[in-house]
Amino acid sequence: MRLLFRRVRYQGIDHDLDLIRSILCSSSFVFIDIFFWSLTLAIFTFAIHQSIAISSLTFIGSYTSSFFLFMLLKKWLRDQPD
């Protein structure tokens, strides 16, 4: 059974992995991910706060703190010498 399947060449896998890595490391993907995590946090903490205003403040606070943390890490890791 093993002989029926050809082994994929390393260059083909490497190209696919580079494509996936470039998508996952793009800033737009990270911002969309931060948006959904902040929205999830705001929805799950709504039962504790019982207020849309506090839930929206939770969303805005978690989104902005995650945004600034991402920008800080991006700047810090980019300025590293090789």
pLDDT for 2 equals: 58
Considering the entire predicted model, what is its pTM?
A: 0.70
Cβ atoms of residues 66 and 42 within 8 Å: no
Mean pLDDT, consecutive 10-residue stretches, the chain (82 aa), reads: 63 81 85 94 89 92 95 82 58
Cβ atoms of residues 38 and 55 within 8 Å: no
Average pLDDT, the chain: 85
